[in-house]
Structure 1
C-alpha cells in the first residue's frame, strides 16, 4: 500500500523541490551541505495534515518526512554514483551531471516518496555466546512474522547477499572491523543471526523512524530474554570496543538487495556483546540441558510477540525495552530511574494511583504479584519503599552518586522487574491456551 498522495499535492511538491534544488550545495561532488538544503522543509506544509497518509508518513520516516527522504535519498545517490572531486570543494546540485534538470529530479523524488513504504530486512550477527543458542537448538525459529532467529546456510546466503553490484556501496560494507567478521563481503557458514523485517524508509544515514523502531524491537527482544533468563548480562572490559551493527537489505523486484549497515549505539553494543546464555549458576552444564532451556524460553518469548492482546503486548515489550536500556546505561543513577520506569509501565495505573498514590500502588501490586510467602512480601514492601526514596532523591533532589546500599537496591529492583515480567508472560501464556482451547 503506497501513500497515494493527491495529484495536486504531488504537483505542488515538485514545484517547491525544484525551486529549492537550485540552492543546494554539494561538497567534492559527493556530500550535501545540510544547511543549504534547509529550504526543503517548506514542502512539509503541502503534505496531508490529517488522516491515514499523515500517520503513515510520520510512522515510516519522522516529523520532517519529506526533508529527510529527499536529503537522505540524494545523499545516497551522490555517495554511490559520483566520484570524489578534491578540485571542486563546492558545487551546486544542478551543476552535477544527472541533476541539471531540477524539475525532473524533483518529480522523480516525489514519485519515489509516494511509493512508500518500502520493505527491509535488518540482520544482526550473534556473537559466539549467543550463537550457541542457534547451534544448540535453533536452525530457523520465528518469534513472529517479522522476527526470526536462524543460522546462515546456502539458502540464507543466496537470499541475503552482501554484494549489491554497486562498487562504492560494496566497498563501504568492508570498512573497519567488518573484514574480520565477513571476509570478502560473505556470510560465515553456520553463523547465528537475528532478523527483523520492517516497512518504511531507510536512507544513507539511517536517521528515520523505521531504523529507530527496529532498534526498539531489538532492545525488547534482549530485555525479554534477560527477564526470562535466556540471557544474562556479564559485563566485560574491552580495550577496543566494536559496535554491533545491522546489515540492511531492501526488497527490489522480489529480491533482497544489500543497502549498507546501521550501527548500534556504543553502550547498546557493549551490552549486546555482554549477553551470554543463562546457566543457572552452572546447573545447565551440558548441551542437552541448555538446548531444553533455550527451547522453553523461546516458546515463551514467541507467546509474547504473537499475543493478540495488543495493549498488553505493547506495554510488556515497552517495559522490556526500558529494562534492557537500564543495563545499557553507563550511569547508575540513570539506570535506577530507568528501572523504576519498568515497574511503572507494568503496574502503574493513573486512575488508581491518583487515589492512593503511585508508590503505594506499585509497592502493593509488586509484592503480591511476585512474593511467594508473607515474609517475602514484607521484604519486598520494605525494599520498595527504600527504592522509591532513592528514586525521589535522584529525580527531585539531584542526587549525584549512589552508595553501596543503594547499588544493592538497584540490583534488587532489576530482579523485581524481571520477576514481574515473568509473571506477565505467564498470564499471556494462559490467555493463549484459553484461546486455543476455545477455538
Structure 2
C-alpha cells in the first residue's frame, strides 16, 4: 500500500523541494555534495511527525526518511547516467541535462516517495561446500514467506541480471576490471546456492536504510543459526592484505525489476564457512 499522504502535505512538499533542489550540488559529475543536501530537512519537516505514516517511514528508511530517499535516488541516477571526471568541480544539479527542469524533478521524486514501500529480494551466495550438497540434493527450499534458499539455476530464471541500463548492469557484473570487458553482464553461478531475503521499504545508493539493515540482520541470524546447528563451521585462514576480496550482495527491486549492487565490505580477518561432514 502506498503512503497516501494528504494532498496539502504533497503540495507543500513540492513547493519546498523545488526550492531546495536548486541548492543541491554535484561533484565530479556523479557525487552529491552532502552539505548541499542539508536544506532538504526543511521538506522533511513537512511530513507527519507522529502516527502510522511516520512509523512506516521510520521502518522503511529511518529518521531522515525524505532526505535519505532523495539522496539515495539521485545518487543512483547520477551513477547510472553520468560519467565520472576527476577534473569536474562542484556544479548545481540543475546544470545537468535531465535535471534542468527542477519542477519536474521535484514532482517525480515526490510521486516516487509516496509510492513506498518497494519490494526487494536480497541475495547472498552461500559457501561452495554447502552449495554443492544443496544444489545436487535439494535445489530449492522455502523457509518462510520472506526467506528461501535457491540454486543458481533457479535464480537465473527468477531474477535475470540484465536491466538494459548499461552502467547498472556493469555494477551488477562487478565493476572494476569487468568494465574493460565491454558489455559484460552479471550472472548467477549455476552450481551455487543463494540465500534470498525478501524485504519491503527502500534501499538507495550511499545511504543506510532500515530496510537494508533488516535484510543484513536476517542474513546474519540465519548464518549464525546454521553455525549453531553445525551445518556450517567457521574457519580462520591467513590472507595477505593485498589479496583481500570484497564481499557483495545483490538486491533486485521486484516492483520495477531494477537491479542494485548494494555494497562492498573488506574483511580484516578473512573467514570461511563450510558444511560439516
**Same-fold call, TM > 0.5?**
yes
In 2, are the aligned partners of 1:61 and 1:69 still within 8 Å (CA)? yes
Structure 2 partner of 1:78: 78
- SS of the residue 1:75 aligns to: helix
Which residue number in structure 2 is paired with residue 371 of structure 1?
Answer: none
Among candidates 244, 249, 254, match of residue 246 of structure 1: 249
1:52 aligns with 2:47: no
SS in 2 for 1:215: helix
Contact 2:68–2:207, Cα closer than 8 Å, also in 1: no
- Which structure 1 segments of 5+ residues have no match? 280-439
Q: Deviations over 1:241-284 (max 9, x none)?
A: 2232211111245xx332223335636x944xx222234xxxxx
**CA 1:215–1:178: 2 relative to 1, 3 Å:** farther
Asked if residue 277 in structure 1 is aligned to residue 242 in structure 2, the reply is no
Secondary structure of the residue aligned to 1:135 is helix
Residue number in structure 2 paired with 1:225: 226
The 5 A counterparts of 1:147-166 are: 147-153=147-153, 155-166=154-165
Number of positions where the alignment pairs a residue of Structure 1 with one of Structure 2 = 270
1:131 aligned counterpart, secondary structure: helix
Tell me, yes or no, if the aligned pair for 2:22 and 2:94 is still in contact at 8 Å.
yes
Q: Deviations over 1:392-433 (max 9, x none)?
A: xxxxxxxxxxxxxxxxxxxxxxxxxxxxxxxxxxxxxxxxxx
DSSP-derived class of the 2:80 partner: helix
- Following TM superposition, by how much is the alpha carbon of 1:11 offset from its aligned partner in structure 2, in angstroms? 1.0
Partner of 1:63: 63
Say if 2:96 is the partner of 1:93: no
Tell me the secondary structure at the aligned position of residue 23 of structure 2.
Answer: coil
| Residue of structure 1 in register with 2:192 after alignment | 191
Greater C-alpha radius of gyration: 1
CA-CA distance at 1:31 after TM superposition: 1.5
Q: Is the 8 A contact 2:127 2:273 kept in 1?
A: no
State the partner residue of 1:6: 6
Structure 2 residue matching 1:266: 3-state secondary structure: coil
Partner of 2:260: 259
The residue correspondences of 1:5-404 to structure 2 (distance < 5 A) are: 5-85=5-85, 88-135=88-135, 137-153=137-153, 155-173=154-172, 174-176=174-176, 184-239=185-240, 240-253=243-256, 256-264=257-265, 266=267, 270-271=270-271, 274-279=272-277
What CA distance in whole angstroms lies between the structure 2 residues aligned with 1:130 and 1:176?
28
Higher share of residues assigned helix: 1
Q: CA deviation at 1:228?
A: 1.7
What is the CA–CA distance in structure 2 between the aligned matches of 1:56 and 1:266, rounded to whole Å?
33
Displacement of 1:184: 4.3
Q: Deviations over 1:281-330 (max 9, x none)?
A: xxxxxxxxxxxxxxxxxxxxxxxxxxxxxxxxxxxxxxxxxxxxxxxxxx
SS in 2 for 1:185: coil
The question of whether the paired residues in 2 share the 8 Å contact of 1:138 and 1:149 is answered with no
Cα deviation, 1:133-181, whole Å, max 9, x if unaligned, reads: 413532111111111112121x5313212221111112223324889xx
Give me the whole-angstrom Cα distance separating, in 2, the residues matched to 1:72 and 1:119: 16
Summarize deviations over 1:158-215 as a string: whole Å, max 9, x none: 3212221111112223324889xxx742222222111111101111124111111111
Distance 1:220 1:27 in 2: 38
CA distance in 2, matches of 1:98, 1:257: 20
Contact 1:152–1:193 under 8 Å retained in 2: yes
Q: Distance in 1 between matches of 2:156 and 2:136?
A: 21
Match of residue 302 from structure 1: none
Match of 1:360 in 2: none
| Secondary structure class of the residue paired with 1:144 | coil
Equivalent-residue separation in structure 2 for 1:203 and 1:104 (angstroms): 21
The 3 A distance-change label for structure 1 pair 61 and 131 is same
**Structure 2: gaps (5+ residues):** none
Q: 1:244 to 1:190 in 2, by over 3 A?
A: same
From the superposition, tell whether residues 132 and 170 of structure 1 become closer, same or farther in structure 2 (CA, over 3 Å).
Answer: same
SS in structure 2 at match of 1:242: coil
Tell me: CA distance 1:206–1:123, structure 2 relative to 1, closer, same or farther (3 Å): farther
What's the Cα RMSD here? Answer: 2.2
